[in-house]
């Protein structure tokens, strides 16, 4: 294919129905190509005003009198997130804690319930290349409760084969934990198919939506998903350390008990009773005091995406990554780059990964060229053009700067020690 010209990339921006949303984000440096929205999303302009309002008025003036309103937010914001982006009916999504803690709570609850019903059901099926915190949490849970992990191999590029997951299931399986979109390759898994396979084996399915929430439509209810977790600082633009979310299908809420018996999960919380009795509903998976500022930021990020519409966001994500893949084929493959993500847009999320022997120095040098991506060991450059905040021409410029930098060998000039650049 003949790669598009820069003028053609600009024309794509002019015709983009989501183009005006780019202006809704803080972007002080017009030269910057920010392709790291899959790590930390840009700051929405509206969030600045909303946080100012919460800090100056609700906290500064309202003080503890604001709590009656704030205390509703974990469920209220969760419901808005569930309705607009996760395909979840109200009362099933809660914004709280980190992904790591939510995973611990939900996987712990599922394992305990499975073993109470049948002591032989103690295995958690997980993908070998799953995001580290997921594997660590599950390993710790299994070790501490007499459970066991069963690891399924996955293709580094195509992702996990649903047939391999199905083959790993059996009468001993309590839970399957899987990322909907793989963090490294971006490979997208068939949620309904894998969930159905888990159910046929008598197990529950827990989805990590960190790379799909706000990037691809997620139909939790329709897929029959049991449990889910995900973060809000990537495509939901809620900022560093913003609280994560969890989803527990209504049909499971009564029988599942969080291993963290916190007072925000307690029925009649302010009676300060001696015995822990969990409240009905998804709030029983809360733990402690909600992070109010982070919740306000999640609310703004969700509102922005809801306004854009997840189907349009998905269409632009596929078009942006397709542009990037096309440019990589033409310009970067001759320089030693190989696509390490599914080639078919419908089989990947909103980021792509390129493999290169010198991926670390390339990623580091790119920053000095005004392009932010991120490095994933051992030799992957990940590029995530967040659909709402990224222009087509930004992708074109990023690929152009990348090819020039490597062709001229500039990445070999000053190599900082390996680590994160962003």
Ligand X SMILES: Cc1ncc(COP(=O)(O)O)c(C=O)c1O
Distance CA 31, CA 252 (A): 49
Distance CA 117, CA 259 (A): 17
**CB of 244: closest distance to ligand X in angstroms?**
5
**Torsion, CA 74, CA 75, CA 77, CA 81, rounded to 10:** 120
Of 66 and 100, nearer to ligand X (C-beta) is 100
Of 122 and 211, nearer to ligand X (C-beta) is 211
- H/E run at residue 359: helix 359-368
SS3 93: strand
Applying CB under 6 A, the residues found at the interface with ligand X are 98-100, 131, 133-134, 179, 183, 208, 210-211, 231, 244
- H/E run at residue 149: strand 148-152
Q: Which of 382, 391, 401, 403 is catalytic?
A: 382
Burial of 296 (0-12, 13-18, 19+ CB in 10 A): buried
**CB of 351: closest distance to ligand X in angstroms?**
11
Q: Computed over its alpha carbons, how large is the radius of gyration of the chain?
A: 22
Of 12 and 205, nearer to ligand X (C-beta) is 205
For 285, phi then psi, to 5°, come to -100, 10
**CB of 228: closest distance to ligand X in angstroms?**
11
**CB of 40: closest distance to ligand X in angstroms?**
9
Of 133 and 145, nearer to ligand X (C-beta) is 133
- Nearest CA-CA partner of 349 in 234, 227, 205, 203: 234
Beta carbons of 227 and 204 less than 8 angstroms apart: yes
Of 208 and 226, nearer to ligand X (C-beta) is 208
**Is 233 a known active-site residue?**
yes
SS3 348: strand
Beta carbons of 383 and 324 less than 8 angstroms apart: yes
Q: Which of 131, 245, 247, 264 is catalytic?
A: 131
Q: Which of 21, 34, 233, 285 is catalytic?
A: 233
**CB of 337: closest distance to ligand X in angstroms?**
23
Of 179 and 195, nearer to ligand X (C-beta) is 179
Strands 227-230 and 204-208: parallel
DSSP, residue by residue, 213-224? TTTS---HHHHT
Distance CA 88, CA 98 (A): 20
Of 133 and 151, nearer to ligand X (C-beta) is 133
- For the chain, the 3-state helix, strand and coil shares in percent, each to the nearest 5, are 45, 15, 40
**Is 382 a known active-site residue?**
yes
**CB of 182: closest distance to ligand X in angstroms?**
8
Q: At what angle do helices 45-53 and 292-308 cross, to 10 degrees?
A: 140
**Is 208 a known active-site residue?**
yes
Q: Which of 36, 79, 208, 400 is catalytic?
A: 208
Beta carbons of 258 and 206 less than 8 angstroms apart: no
**CB of 99: closest distance to ligand X in angstroms?**
3
For the annotated catalytic residues, the residue numbers are: 131, 208, 233-234, 382
């Amino acid at each position: 294919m003949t790669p598009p010209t820069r003028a053609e990339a600009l024309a794509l921006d002019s015709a983009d129905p989501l183009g005006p949303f780019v202006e809704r984000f803080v972007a002080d440096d017009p030269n910057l190509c920010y392709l790291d929205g899959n790590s930390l999303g840009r700051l929405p302009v509206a969030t600045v005003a909303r946080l100012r309002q919460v800090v100056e008025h609700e906290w500064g003036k309202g003080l503890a009198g604001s709590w009656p309103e704030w205390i509703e937010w974990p469920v209220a914001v969760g419901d808005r997130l569930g309705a607009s982006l996760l395909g979840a009916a109200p009362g099933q999504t809660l914004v709280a804690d980190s992904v790591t803690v939510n995973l611990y709570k939900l996987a712990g609850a599922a394992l305990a319930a499975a073993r109470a019903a049948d002591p032989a059901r103690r295995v958690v099926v997980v993908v070998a290349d799953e995001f580290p915190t997921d594997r660590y949490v599950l390993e710790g849970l299994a070790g501490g409760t007499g459970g066991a992990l069963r690891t399924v191999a996955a293709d580094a590029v195509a992702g996990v084969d649903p047939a391999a997951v199905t083959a790993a299931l059996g009468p001993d399986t309590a839970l399957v934990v899987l990322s909907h979109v793989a963090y490294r390759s971006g490979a997208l898994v068939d949620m309904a198919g894998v969930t159905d396979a888990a159910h046929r084996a008598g197990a529950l399915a827990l989805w990590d939506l960190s790379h799909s929430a706000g990037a691809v439509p997620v139909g939790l209810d329709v897929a029959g998903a049991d449990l889910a977790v995900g973060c809000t600082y990537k495509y939901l633009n809620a900022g560093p350390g913003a609280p994560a979310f969890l989803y527990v299908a209504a049909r499971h809420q009564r029988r599942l008990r969080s291993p963290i018996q916190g007072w925000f999960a307690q029925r009649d919380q302010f009676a300060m009773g001696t015995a822990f009795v969990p409240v009905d509903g998804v709030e029983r998976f809360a733990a402690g005091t909600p992070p109010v500022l982070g919740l306000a930021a999640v609310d703004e990020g969700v509102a922005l995406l809801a306004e854009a519409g997840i189907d349009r966001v998905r269409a632009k994500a596929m078009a942006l990554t397709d542009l990037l893949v096309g440019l990589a084929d033409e310009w970067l493959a001759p320089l030693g780059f190989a696509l390490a993500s599914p080639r078919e847009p419908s089989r990947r999320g909103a980021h792509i990964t390129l493999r290169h022997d010198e991926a670390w120095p390339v990623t580091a040098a790119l920053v000095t060229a005004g392009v932010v991506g991120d490095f994933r060991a051992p030799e992957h450059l990940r590029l995530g053009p967040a659909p709402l905040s990224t222009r087509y021409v930004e992708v074109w410029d990023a690929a152009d700067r990348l090819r020039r930098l490597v062709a001229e060998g500039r990445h070999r000039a000053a190599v900082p020690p390996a680590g994160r650049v962003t």
